[in-house]
Structures are given as C-alpha cells and as structure tokens.
Structure 1
Amino acid sequence: MMIRLLVFAVIVLALGYGFSWLADRPGELSLVWGGELYETKLIVAASLLIAIVAAVMVGWWLLRTIWTSPQSVTRYFRARKRDRGYQALSTGLIAAGAGNALFARKMAARSRGLIRVDQEPLIHLLEAQAALIEGKHDEAREKFELMANDPETRELGLRGLYLEAKRLGATEAAQQYAEKAADKAPYLRWAAEATLEHRSQAGRWDDAIRLLDQQRAARVIDKDEADRLRAVLLTARANDRLEADPAGARDDALHALRLEADFIPAVLTAAKALFREDKVRKASGILEEAWKTNPHPEVGRAYVRARSGDSVIDRLKRAERLETLRPNNVESLQVAARAALDAGDYSKARDKAEAAARIEPRESAFLLLADIEDADTGDQGRIRHWMAQALKAPRDPAWMADGMISDKWLPISPVTGKLDAFEWKAPFGQIEGPVEDGTVVSVDAALRTLPPVHAEATPNALISIEPSPAKPRQTGEQNGVETAAKPADAPKKDPKPFFGGLPDDPGVRQADTPPEPKNRLRLF
C-alpha cells in the first residue's frame, strides 16, 4: 500500500512539473486537418491530450466492469460461501479441541455443505477428531488413511495412524508408519525419534546414523544433541564390531570420543579394541586421560588389567599410578586397595580401603574391608561387622535407565526403548550420606565397634591368645572336628558292647555312666 501511494505521488508531481514547465514557455500549436487550420496554445493542447487519455481509460474500465460483472458476482457469492465454510471449520476445530463432539459434528456437516472436501482436506481432520472424542476409532482410522493418501495431508494422516497404532499396542504397525513418515519428511521430529529408536533396537546402526545426519541437516535437532546421539550410536556399533572387526570398532570409538570427550562407554570400547590390537600403550594413554577428568571404576579396572600376563605386583603398581593421577579420590583408593588385596599386602589394602570409606562411606568400601578381613584374618565376627556396615551404607553408583539397574552400559533402555537413557548415578531411594545415630554409621564409629580378632582365626590373625595353664586343653583337628584332650593318667575304659543298634542309634548307656563330651563342629 505504501508503494502505491509513493507511485501516485510521483505521478502527480511529474504532471504538475510538466504543466508548470509548459506555462513558463508559451507557444502555439497549429494543426491542418481536412483543409482546415486549427491553432491553439500549447498548454491547452497538452491538457486536452491528457483529458482524452483519461477518458479512454475510464471508458475501458466501465466496459470491462460491465462485461465481467456476472463472473464478479459469482466470485463474490462463492467467496462469501467459502468464508462461511472456513468459519464453520474453524469453529468445529475449536469445539473438537474443547471436547465438544456434538458441536464438532455439526460444524463438520456445515463445512461439507459450504466447502468441497477435495479442496479442503481439513474437514477429514475435524471428522476424525470428533470420532476420537466419541470413541469411534475405526472411523477415525479411515479418516486418517484418507489424509495419508493425500499429498497435502500425508504427514498429518501418518501421525494419526501412528498414534492409533501405539494406542492399540501394535508396535510393528506404529514403526512402519513412523518409518514411512521419516523417509518422506526427515524433519518430522516425532517420526525421526521413533524411527531412530526402532532402528537402534534392531541393531541397524548404519541406518540410524544416516537418519540422524538427515535430522541434523534439516536442523531438527541442535548440534550438541546430534553429537551426543551420534557418539552413542557409534559406540554401540563399535561394541557390536569389537569381536569381528577390532580396527573398525577402534575407529568408531575414537570418532565417538572426538564428539564426546568424556563419554566413558566410548573410552572403554576404544581401550578394548586397542588391547586386541596389542596397542597397550595407546590404550593406557586413553584410559589415563579419561581417569584424570572422570575417575570411573570401570576405567580403573580396565587400566589395572591392561596386560593379561602382569603379576599382582605389576597390577598394584598400575593401580598406584592411577592414585597419583587423582590423589585423595575414593575411586583411586578403592582401585589401589583391591590391587593390594590381590597382591597380599593386607596392611596397605586396609589403610586405603579405610581412607576411601572416610571420604565416601558407601557399600563397596565396606564390602572391600570385609574381603580384606576374610583374606587376612578370616575372623567371621569382623567380616560380619563390615558386612553389616555395607547393608546400612548408601549403594554405589551404577548404570541406570528408567528405574532399572544394569551391570553394563547399553545404548537403549530395555524398558522404554529410549536412546541414550542410561546414566551413571546412585540408585533412587538411597540415604544421602552417613549419620551417626541413623541408619548409616561413620567409619570411625565402625572402627571403634570392630570386634577383636578371635583366637581361632587363620594364621594371619593380628591377635593371638595362649591357652590358660589352669585348664590345659589339647586341640586336634581331624576332618574339621575339634575335640578336648583327656588327661594322660585317665584309666582306660573297657570297650562298650554292641547291642545291635542302627548306625545312627547311640545304643544303650548304663545308668551310672557319665555322658561323653560332645564334639563341636566348626561352622566358620
């Protein structure tokens, strides 16, 4: 509108300037026509010429208007009818959104009478929504199928069919609808996500990565999210290729690390692939870099057991190397304590395990102390004491997805099928730290209540108790049975007669014969 006003103003100014120019330059115009001489002033001739042109234009407009008036009248009434139809369609869609099925049906019928269905396919949508509100799902599916066959409403119809299939539990049909929609329009987020999860569940990692690239090109997802999902898919493909193609698994895992530098599953997969190629130094370097930024227990175990032929002393040295990279860290101390336990250095193992428990008293630290006690002293009382502390302590972090705990990372959730659902975190419902008078006790309190080593512990016992001379006893172990020794000067008893009892029958005992001492089996 503004441009038209400017053009009109320019034309008016040009005409005014032209007339003023002619007025400043007077002259006469002579015209001989039919033997007659016509003379007039130049400005009058210009004005007459402009008037003739204007009259011709106005006459042509009147003639054209009269000639096209029937079509104009028809278009007017058609447009008015179409406007009424669109108004009814809009009102019906609002009613369907509000849940008023009766009014939505009424508006749908009115729209059909005012607008042709082939010209406005949204009428099918209104009727489908009304059918869904009334619970007529078969009719709604028919409408969605009609929309799916129309190029203009194909995406809308496929989404409706997908939701109906999901409602009925027809997973295979829902996946087919999502696949079809994703192939035709990869920019549809719902279709791309459903197809991506389906291809991931089926192990079609190449197709999933290709679809993800299409989404990124269409700018459906941002760069950070696309990089994260691509790292997950590459790691999953690397895990599948680890046995048959270690080189390909290595390339996929390293590519995933370039996208997500601190992605622990990719770190572990890359290290495993390099170990299979006998590239221990490079794999160790990757594990060390990951340990510096994120000390993960799986990274520590992979690093300590990098070389299968290492002795327990070599593994202890590698564990201490990790401890120097991240000192005063609970994971570093636990890895070193476990390696010291395997090497038989119980004192060092106990010190590091207690230090880890002081930093973060949790289940694994107390279980490790119980293992050390079992290997060192074998005292069941002390073992049970640490096991009791483990029962009261918060649980360790684990791979969790949708409330399920897994012993290893998985690319998709087994519960919902969601991609990248697993997180390394503590299970839900755990106590948030130690309290002295509550469920969890501190390490210092546990050490104060730790029972002393029993006298009958293993040879590695820290405390030994000598037998009292007042009551000499001789302990003999035969087949695990502990019996009390009899005095040397005790009279030798006559053998008891056999009265024919069963093997488990104690036989007949004389009334004046004292009962024999019972043998006690060692349970622990």
Structure 2
Amino acid sequence: MIRILIFLLVVFLLGLGFAWLADRPGDMVITLDGYQYRVTLMVAAVGVVAVVAAVMILWWLIKSIWNSPYTISRYFRVRQRDRGYQALSTGMIAAGAGDAALARKKNKEAAKLIRSDQEPLILLLDAQASLLEGDHDGARQKFEAMLDDPETRLLGLRGLYLEAERLGDSAAARHYAGRAIDLAPQLGWAADSTLEEKTARGDWDGAIKIIDAQKATRQIERDQANRKRAVLLTAKAQALFETGFAAAKTAALEANRLQPHFVPAAVAAAKALFRGDDTRKGAKILEAAWRANPHPDVADLYVHARHGDAVNDRLARAKRLQSIKQNHPESSLAVARAALDAGDFALARKEAESAIRMQPREGAWLLLADIEEADTGDVGKVRQLLGKAVRAPRDPAWVADGIESETWAPISPVTGHLDAFEWRIPVERLGRVIEDVPDETPVLAAPAPAVAEEPVEVAAPEPVAEPAPAVVQALPEPANDYKPASPVVEPKVAVTAELIEADHASEEPVGQAVVIAPPLPDDPGVDPDAPAKAPRRFGLF
C-alpha cells in the first residue's frame, strides 16, 4: 500500500512539473562543435526522462543476466525446502496420530530435503518415530544428541525427563528437570518436578526461590503464588522451631501475613509469639483465624495460651472464642472441653449436647461419654454413648490423596504434591447403620391345634430399611405321644407376607413354622417348662 502511494506521488509530481513547463515556454540551446541545437524546454525534459528510464531498464537487464544462475539455484532450493517442510509437517502429524510407518517415511524424506542443523524439528520427528517403533534406547540417544546444540538442549532434556518418568527413575527425572530449570525458569514441568524434589528434601528456601521465579515470569497467579509461599514458610517454621527459633518466627509471621486464614500458618505464628511472651498479638492472630475458619487446633492453642492459667481462666477464654463464632459445633466443643477440665459438668453436658444437635459426629459423642463418666460414673450410660459414637459420622481430619493424618503436612505422602492436605471429613465406609438392635432372638413357635377360640393376633410388620428375608423351615409333625398340657398363648410377632398367605391358604396346619435367626452369645434358648408370659411385640431386625 505504501509503495502504491509513493508511485502515485511520483506520477503526480512529474505531471505537475510538465504542466509548469508547458505554461512557461522557452528554448534550450546547445552549442557543440560549431553547431547550435535549439529545442524547447518540454522536449528537453521528455528527453531527460526517457534517458533516465532507458538507463534503469538497461541496468535491470544486465543485473538479471548476471544474477540468473543464483536466481535459478535459489528457485530450486526454495522448491526443495518447501517439499521438505511439507514432508516434515506430514511426519509430525503422523507421529501425533501414532502412525509409526508414515512418520519414519516422512522423516527420511525430510532429512534428504532439509539438513538437520537447519531445522531441529527433524531430530524431534526422528526421536518420536523411534518411540512409536518401541526403540526407547534409540530415542534416548537422539535426545542426548540434542543436548549438544543450545537450540535443542531444552527439547532433549524434556525427552529424557519423560523417558525417566516412564521408567520410574525419579532421581534421573528430577536431575533433568533441575538442569532445565537452570536454563529456563519459566518451564512449568521442570519447575513442578524440581519443587517436589526440594520439598521432599526439606529445602524450603530453594522451593521458595522457584515459586518466586514462577511468579516473576507470570507462570502462576499472584494469589496462587502467595498460597504456595505461605505453605512453604509454614513448613520451614515448623522445621526450625526447635533449632532456629528466630528464623522460624520470621517465617511463621510472614506466612500468616500472606494467608491470614490459613490455620497451620496462624497456629505456627501464634506458637512463636506465645513463646516470646507476646500473648496479646498471638491471641489476635488466632481470633482472626477462628473467625474465618473454626478449627480445633486453633481452639486448643488459644485456650492453653498461658501454661500457668487456672481452669476457670481457660474456660473464660473458650467462652471468648464461642462469642466470636456463635452457633458453631467447634465453639460448643471448645467450651465443653474447657468446662470438663474445670469440673463444670452441667455446662459441659449442655455444650456437648448443643454440638451434637448441630452436627452429630463421633468426637461429640465421645466427649459426652467422658463427661458422663466423670460426672455420674454410670457405666451403662457411658456404653450407650460410646455405641452412638461408633455409629456416628467421623470427625474432620487432615486428608491428602486418601491418607488421613492427625497433623498437617506441607506435601502429600503419596504423590509429593505441595499443599495437598485439606481439612475435611474422611471418606466413609460403605454400609448401613443399624440404629436399634433387638435384645432377644424372636422365635415363632408352632401353632397349637385349632381349639383356641381367640385367633392369634398378628402384628403388622414394622417398617425397616431393606430387611433380610426370613428363613422359613418346615419341621416334621411332633410325636403322637406328645400332648401339650395347656394351650400355649402365642406372642405377637412380625411375620412376612408369604407366611401369612401360606397360613390362610391352608385349612389345616401342615407343620411348625420357625423363623431361624442367629442366636445371641451365651443364649440358653427357650425353656419349654417356663410359664407363659404376657404377649409382647418383637421385631425381626
């Protein structure tokens, strides 16, 4: 577009010049060898322009003839290169599709048309074809050859890293990732692998440098970088708390500044401040964390902030936490534990029952059992509460990749990923919880001969969730010499619909129908000489 505008501008200026000469007539006289040549200015201008144009055309012809060998060779070279790139493109597509034969064929064709030192993709296609053919040793050799060229060094390290991961050689994989991260800190795969390696060795400062490099290159967002940095600083504070308290305190405070609501960071910072007798600042940190995320670790550290406090003082601190986060099970449990230590069993029972109403889980029932044992010592009541605790949902815990831990850890013990632990309820086991268990084994005795005037009352079956089918077994007729002394009063039992239909369908009793159920431990069975009892209602399940 710019060239067209320039051409139009030149034509416009030439036209303007010729128009100016046409409006101003004049002659141009040239004296040469005694002769005078007179022409008008217009003719002279046209002649000059024609001469300049002729010179330019002549120069172009001479230059074209002079450069014709190079032009012809360049034409064939470009044509050959285009064919090579077409073969290379087809080969890369075939390698991506898994066509090893076509990838190898196009690789050989591209290698003939293009030199590998001019196009590194030929080396990559050759290595990919070897991988598709199953020649992993040859592929590794090609990746190692790429390390000699600075342009393909990262490509070779990536290939060797993937091969080491395939073979399960974590040490070699992390070695190649470390070399790659030294050359290019912006590589995500190398940074992640090196980060896992440094965190596994406890090199928290080295891991923090990697996070800072990823943040500087905009590889991760600012919030994500702050989160990972807080996790690493918390792990560093926990590791140096006994050996280097000053560095641990600095790391813990910085982690809490980056993530104020991160419970492990808040606990680490508060511990460091409490050790330095700065109880007020540590309590503020815990209160801020409790307000955002009530956690039992925060409550326990807050209540026991000062070791010399009396039990009533700890109870007052627990009530302070409850006022910050009201109507929450963790608040009620914190007050219940403090009240139990203080001997205020009424308040402890009240708060534990309140926590159960809000969230009936295992820890609340166990705490209520401890309160009952300390207050009344009623063994039966304690056992009842323990039984409810067994059937209640589990308490939240630190979980990472299906592994449950009592304490927080910076990395997963399974995959080694950073910040994998989260506070949640562990996965429950499959199964149906049975709330009520019968105290006795129900037995349906044989019906007496049809001499009783009152029919036996059959209770409707109680609604239960998916009851197991009752096993009905027909027993032979009793011996003729056996006669019951008196009519047996049958208990009211819950029977299945099939048994009722069979009873109504038959006019005469065919035999004794007995429901077989697993006997309770140490069950002596039914005493035939025992006196008849009042009718009772039993449940099959």
Q: TM-score range by the shorter chain?
A: 0.7 to 0.9
Q: What pairs up with 1:316-335 in 2 under 5 angstroms?
A: 316-335=315-334
Q: Which residue of 2 aligns with 1:372?
A: 371
Alignment partner of 2:252: what SS? helix
Residue deviations 1:14-68 (CA, integer Å, cap 9, x gap): 2222222222222222222333322211122112111111111111111111001
Q: Which moved more, 1:151-160 or 1:17-26?
A: 17-26
Percent identity of paired positions between Structure 1 and Structure 2: 57
Q: What pairs up with 1:33-48 in 2 under 5 angstroms?
A: 33-48=32-47
Q: Which moved more, 1:264-273 or 1:36-45?
A: 36-45
Kept after mapping to 1: 8 A contact 2:261/2:288: no
Q: Which moved more, 1:61-70 or 1:117-126?
A: 117-126
Alignment partner of 1:424: what SS? strand
Residue deviations 1:362-392 (CA, integer Å, cap 9, x gap): 1111111111112112222211211121122
Kept after mapping to 2: 8 A contact 1:393/1:440: no
Q: Which residue of 2 aligns with 1:107?
A: 106
Distance 2:4 2:402 in 1: 68
Distance 2:405 2:9 in 1: 78
Q: Which residue of 1 aligns with 2:178?
A: 179
Q: Which residue of 1 aligns with 2:509?
A: none
Q: What pairs up with 1:163-178 in 2 under 5 angstroms?
A: 163-178=162-177
Alignment partner of 1:151: what SS? coil
Residue deviations 1:233-264 (CA, integer Å, cap 9, x gap): 11111111211232322221221222222111
Kept after mapping to 1: 8 A contact 2:28/2:40: yes
Alignment partner of 1:219: what SS? coil
Q: What pairs up with 1:194-205 in 2 under 5 angstroms?
A: 194-205=193-204
Amino acid across the alignment from 1:366: W
Q: What pairs up with 1:59-458 in 2 under 5 angstroms?
A: 59-429=58-428, 439=433
Kept after mapping to 2: 8 A contact 1:246/1:274: no
Amino acid across the alignment from 1:424: W
Amino acid across the alignment from 2:64: T
Amino acid across the alignment from 1:283: G
Q: Which residue of 2 aligns with 1:10?
A: 9
Q: 1:440/1:18 Cα in 2 relative to 1: closer, same or farther (>3 Å)?
A: farther
Distance 2:13 2:370 in 1: 103
**Alpha-carbon distance, 1:430 to partner:** 6.6
Amino acid across the alignment from 2:94: A
Amino acid across the alignment from 1:37: Q
Q: 1:80/1:187 Cα in 2 relative to 1: closer, same or farther (>3 Å)?
A: same
Residue deviations 1:115-157 (CA, integer Å, cap 9, x gap): 1122222111111111111211101101111122221111111
Q: Which moved more, 1:167-176 or 1:216-225?
A: 216-225
Q: 1:440/1:286 Cα in 2 relative to 1: closer, same or farther (>3 Å)?
A: farther
Amino acid across the alignment from 1:219: R
- Considering only aligned residues, what root-mean-square deviation do their CA atoms show, in Å? 1.9
Distance 1:104 1:381 in 2: 77
Distance 1:34 1:372 in 2: 136
Distance 2:232 2:37 in 1: 94
Q: 1:33/1:401 Cα in 2 relative to 1: closer, same or farther (>3 Å)?
A: farther
Distance 1:430 1:56 in 2: 96
Distance 2:115 2:263 in 1: 59
Distance 1:173 1:191 in 2: 12
TM-score by length of 2: 0.78
Amino acid across the alignment from 1:262: H
Kept after mapping to 2: 8 A contact 1:402/1:421: yes
Alignment partner of 1:68: what SS? helix
**Alpha-carbon distance, 1:209 to partner:** 1.2
Q: Which residue of 2 aligns with 1:470?
A: none
Distance 1:289 1:428 in 2: 29
Kept after mapping to 2: 8 A contact 1:395/1:430: no
**Alpha-carbon distance, 1:286 to partner:** 1.0
Count of paired positions: 438
Amino acid across the alignment from 2:271: K
Amino acid across the alignment from 1:318: R
Amino acid across the alignment from 2:167: L
Distance 2:339 2:254 in 1: 36
Distance 2:296 2:7 in 1: 80
Distance 2:330 2:424 in 1: 14
Unaligned runs of 5+ in 1: 432-437, 446-524
Q: 1:332/1:54 Cα in 2 relative to 1: closer, same or farther (>3 Å)?
A: same
Distance 2:315 2:79 in 1: 88
Distance 2:194 2:103 in 1: 33
Q: Which residue of 2 aligns with 1:471?
A: none
Residue deviations 1:474-511 (CA, integer Å, cap 9, x gap): xxxxxxxxxxxxxxxxxxxxxxxxxxxxxxxxxxxxxx
Is residue 2:23 matched to residue 1:29?
Answer: no
Is residue 2:57 matched to residue 1:58?
Answer: yes
Alignment partner of 1:31: what SS? strand
Distance 1:21 1:380 in 2: 124
Unaligned runs of 5+ in 2: 437-541
**Alpha-carbon distance, 1:97 to partner:** 0.7
**Alpha-carbon distance, 1:330 to partner:** 0.8
Distance 1:343 1:430 in 2: 37
Distance 2:277 2:384 in 1: 44
